[in-house]
Amino acid sequence: MSNSADSGPHRIPAVVKVGLVWLGRVLALLVIGLSLLVAVMGLLGSGASVVDLASSGTTFEIWGVLHGLAVLFALITIAGVGFALLRRKRLLALLFSLLAWPMGFVIEGSRCDTEAGCRMYGWAAMPSSFRAWSIRIRPVTDRNEADHIASAALYEAGSRYSTYNPRRFGDHWIVATINPDGWPGPQAVKIDTRTAATSFVPCPADRMLCGMERPVVSDGERVFRNARLGLAASFPAGRAVCTARPFEDDLSLEGRGYYGMMRDPEIPCDIIDISRDMGLEALKERTLAQALPQGCQPLSPALLKAFGGRTPGFAGHRSQVCQETADDQVWVGVFAVAGSRSGGGSGSTTLYEAWMRTTEAGLAEDARLFESFLGRAKIGTLAES
């Protein structure tokens, strides 16, 4: 009787002890599992940043250091936990799992891009003086990066001008500046290609566009000519004429042709708002198959009627015509191949395109003007006469 009575009180602490041990093991395994998940997510997220930095990054900043440390801590966590569990050392695995957490708090606290995030992780943020640290590891070769660097330089200088037309000249970039109306700023930003150091210099207007181009109002007689590409055209009176500069031309001075718009000539050419225009351009493509836009169809009966039953074309050249119709707009393109000087040899040829864009309401008038425009346009060697 006494033995049974004595053993009764000791059975409850033993059960509690066993229960606590198992509870501790379960909690430890939950912490380890959650930490492994955090480590894997951090490895994927920060790993992508590290790979991007190694493959195409231009500057090694404090963020590169943080993401690199996050990858290192995640790898140590995964390897350490795996090793410890294989050896059945749960406490060691738990200690390794804790390494998955610090870098996430530091990165989120330093980024702190929302008010709630700042309240939650601000205590782990890096000092602000550290965040400005960076080392350039690649030269400035991308125009978007040059534009970003110039914008930062203007902001630091307290300038109200914005960037325009980044252009590379050997070992440096020149980024022009403009005011809200597109007029050139007093200075351009010069960027050293190797170091990304910036300085303010005069914009070389003889070698690049330093502000948005202003249209020239055609008087109906003036000839707009590009001798290098072998083209010349006269536009209907009153059209605001601009130089056609495809984006890949890097806003070069000469461009690849001209186009005339029916709109206020005070609006800069660079501000795109075209509803009715016509133009002539030398294309970079060498074949019609490369140049024709998708969805280009032969002229419809309605369009042929607008042109008086005649298919429009370049005078003296075999032409191919197609149309596109979208919403209320009608586009007609005329293509032809002719000899020019652009290839550098006497036998070289260039593909030319003349186009008309109009509305249903303006179709009859613009078709008549486009026929006259094509009749006076000259391409190839004829443009030199």
DSSP 200-248: EE---TTTS--SPPPPEE--SSPPEEETTTTEEE---TT-EEEEE--GG
Does 121 lie in the same domain as 49? yes
Among the three residues 109, 134, 159, which one is the final residue of a domain in this structure? 134
Residue 207 lies in a domain: no
Residue 209 lies in a domain: no
Does 156 lie in the same domain as 119? no
Does 364 lie in the same domain as 235? yes
Does 323 lie in the same domain as 230? yes
Mean pLDDT of the chain, nearest integer = 89
Does 378 lie in the same domain as 282? yes
Does 291 lie in the same domain as 245? yes
- What does the alpha-carbon distance between residue 91 and residue 39 come to, in Å, rounded to a whole number? 18
Residue 339 lies in a domain: yes
Does 229 lie in the same domain as 332? yes
Does 163 lie in the same domain as 84? no
- What does the alpha-carbon distance between residue 311 and residue 324 come to, in Å, rounded to a whole number? 15
Does 224 lie in the same domain as 168? no
Does 220 lie in the same domain as 162? no
pLDDT (tens place) for every residue of the chain, 385 residues total: 445 545 555 556 777 777 787 888 889 899 999 999 999 999 999 999 999 999 988 899 999 999 999 999 999 999 999 999 999 999 999 999 999 999 999 998 888 777 777 888 888 888 888 877 889 999 999 999 999 999 999 999 999 999 999 999 999 999 999 999 999 999 999 999 999 999 999 999 999 999 999 999 999 999 999 988 999 999 999 999 999 987 665 566 778 999 999 999 999 998 877 789 999 999 988 888 888 887 788 899 999 999 999 999 998 898 999 999 887 889 999 999 998 655 555 557 899 999 999 998 999 999 999 999 999 999 987 777 6
Residues 355, 370: contact at Cβ < 8 Å?
Answer: no
- What does the alpha-carbon distance between residue 312 and residue 96 come to, in Å, rounded to a whole number? 77
Q: Which domain holds residue 260?
A: 216-384
Residues 146, 135: contact at Cβ < 8 Å?
Answer: no
Question: H-type helices in the chain, by residue range?
Answer: 2-56, 62-86, 90-97, 102-111, 115-121, 128-131, 143-156, 288-291, 301-306, 363-376
Does 171 lie in the same domain as 123? no
Distance set, CA 213 to CA 186, 280, 282, 330 (Å): 16, 18, 20, 26
Residue 245 lies in a domain: yes
Q: How many CA atoms lie within 13 A of 169 on its CB side?
A: 13
Domain count, the chain: 3
Residue 67 lies in a domain: yes
Residue 21 lies in a domain: yes
Among the three residues 134, 168, 188, which one is the final residue of a domain in this structure? 134
Residue 211 lies in a domain: no
Does 178 lie in the same domain as 222? no
Which pTM was predicted? 0.68
76-133: per-residue pLDDT in tens?
999 999 999 999 999 999 999 999 999 999 998 888 777 777 888 888 888 888 877 8
Residue 208 lies in a domain: no
